[in-house]
Amino acid sequence: MIPGGGQPNMQQLLQQAQKMQQDLANAQEELARTEVEGQAGGGLVKATVTGSGELRALVIDPKAVDPEDTETLADLIVAAVQAANENAQALQQQKLGPLTQGLGGGSGIPGLPF
């Protein structure tokens, strides 16, 4: 409900939208700097990704390397990267969720792609 029953203050709405956009941009920058890890095979393979999902590092324990069984190593790498990406998605929800919740539904700002 708008106080006084008048039209919404467009300047105020614009300022709120700009602040939300800046907060969202700041959170996305923080995600790009934050690293999370995923692992597989009891830690034999560890993958590090940024909060935005960019693969930064992959560590493979020599015990995981068997020239006769490269398929298992490949599976461990895929599983570690997937685990890291799941952790990155959880971090994204934690950082961006509160910022984007108010942008959708009936109480949001029309025209924003969230």
Strands (E), the chain: 35-40, 45-50, 55-60
35-80 pLDDT per residue, tens = 999 999 999 999 999 888 889 999 999 999 999 999 999 999 999 9
3 state DSSP class of 33: helix
pTM to 2 decimals? Answer: 0.67
Cα distance between residue 48 and residue 16, in whole Å: 36
Specify the long-range contacts of residues 5-13, CB closer than 8 Å, at least 24 apart: 13/109
**Rounded (5°) CA angle 70-88-53:** 70
Tens digit of pLDDT for each residue in 81-104?
Answer: 999 999 999 988 888 877 766 555
Distance in angstroms (rounded) separating the CA atoms of residues 2 and 9: 9
